Amino acid sequence: MLLLLGQQPASGRELCERLHTTGLAEPDTTQVDLALQAFECIGLVCVCASGRAAADRMYRLTPAGADRLVSAVDDLRGAQVLLGWFLARCAEHLVRDAT
């Protein structure tokens, strides 16, 4: 969600639709709205435009949210290295056992 908001501000409904198109998640608007509220409380996102209804709120990433996104990317890179090592060891083990 932080990545998508970093690319472009969005309402909860729009963000839900964008998440759905990634194929990574089947979000519902209630879950997305709750996550956005939590992100707002801890300063990762802020409301940049608001209509009469809560569903009309547009959220954008804050500098703290951008920092958290960078940190998540670093964490994922580390996990990717570990996963690559793990898969290579598994492949070696499977090849050894097959012979």
Q: What is the CATH number of the domain that holds 33?
A: 1.10.10.10
> What residue ranges of the chain have pLDDT lower than 70?
51-55, 99
The upper half-sphere exposure of residue 65, i.e. CA atoms within 13 Å in the direction of its Cβ, equals: 23
**How confident is the model at residue 99, as a pLDDT?**
62
Rounded Cα gap, residues 40 and 22, in angstroms? 23
Q: Tens digit of pLDDT for each residue in 38-50?
A: 999 999 999 988 7
Describe the crossing of helices 29-41 and 12-22 by its angle, rounded to 10 degrees. 110
Q: Name residue, tokens 């759905």.
A: 20
Q: Which domain, by its residues, includes 54?
A: 2-98
**How confident is the model at residue 23, as a pLDDT?**
83
Number of domains in the chain: 1
Is the pTM here over 0.95, yes or no?
Answer: no
Q: Tens digit of pLDDT for each residue in 9-21?
A: 999 999 999 998 8
